[in-house]
Chains A and B, each alone.
Chain A
Amino acid sequence: EAGVTQFPSHSVIEKGQTVTLRCDPISGHDNLYWYRRVMGKEIKFLLHFVKESKQDESGMPNNRFLAERTGGTYSTLKVQPAELEDSGVYFCASSRHTSGTKYYEQYFGPGTRLTVT
């Protein structure tokens, strides 16, 4: 079973530019999450999709961040316009929620390291 994949692995952009990150969850996982780790801080939740619907976007920093999950498969996270403080590692995770389970364990992708200069 293929794991969570993310693209690109690294991105360096200038302040004010736009960047789009992509995440492909594990096949069959309806739940998709975005997290971010900025330097020196803990990993922070950004948002949660169930299929194509946003279940929880309480962690999104501001309206420069836009996440989509068309068709309930892969997801994109767009930052427009990027600011210096957006630099960090963006992780995607996925989980499968089925009856009889209670853990809903999340599996993480390799992350995208974003550097805004």
Chain B
Amino acid sequence: QKEVEQNSGPLSVPEGAIASLNCTYSDRGSQSFFWYRQYSGKSPELIMFIYSNGDKEDGRFTAQLNKASQYVSLLIRDSQPSDSATYLCAPRGSNYKLTFGKGTLLTVNP
């Protein structure tokens, strides 16, 4: 079992739709969870983080966490073409290091 698994994608949604990105993780000791966006050839850009079970909203982004199910997700509302990128899920363990998934490539079609 991989440490962090993300829906393989690519995921294609029309402009204005909701994009749903999913992630499961194996380390039950993971303490906080980060979503990074990475444009092709660029560095990961932090867009959301969540610590507690439930939902956390920031603008068009909502992160959802269910520690019992070891599941974290990212919803992007009103998707824009500029949201087209690879989204990386990264739980943080007690030792502070991030463990990344392979990422999900999202394409938002105008």
B100→A102 contact, CB < 8 A:
no
On whether A109 and B43 interact (CB within 8 A), knowing A42-B101, A103-B49, the answer reads yes
- Chain A residues with Cβ below 8 Å from B46 are 105-108
> Contact string, A28-64, partner B, CB cutoff 8 A, digits 1/0?
0001010100000111110010000001101100000
Q: Given known contacts A33-B97, A108-B46, what 9 new A-B pairs fall within 8 Å (CB)?
A: A33-B98, A42-B101, A42-B103, A48-B95, A48-B96, A93-B98, A106-B34, A108-B45, A111-B43
Nearest-Cβ distance from residue B91 to partner chain A, whole angstroms: 12
Instruction: Check if B44 is an interface residue, CB within 8 A of chain A.
Output: yes
Instruction: Check if B32 is an interface residue, CB within 8 A of chain A.
Output: yes
Number of A-B residue pairs at CB separation under 8 A: 60
- Chain B residues with Cβ below 8 Å from A104 are 32, 92, 96
Instruction: Check if B61 is an interface residue, CB within 8 A of chain A.
Output: no
Nearest-Cβ distance from residue A36 to partner chain B, whole angstroms: 11
B98→A103 contact, CB < 8 A:
no
Residue of A33, A42, A56 with most partner-chain B CB within 10 A: A42
Instruction: Check if A72 is an interface residue, CB within 8 A of chain B.
Output: no
- Chain A residues with Cβ below 8 Å from B45 are 108
Complex Cα–Cα for A109 and B38 (A): 12
Complex Cα–Cα for A38 and B46 (A): 21
Instruction: Find the A residue at minimum CB distance from B50.
Output: A103
B49→A105 contact, CB < 8 A:
yes
B51→A106 contact, CB < 8 A:
no
The 8 closest A-B pairs by CB, nearest first: A43-B100, A45-B97, A108-B43, A42-B100, A42-B102, A108-B44, A110-B43, A103-B49
Complex Cα–Cα for A45 and B27 (A): 15
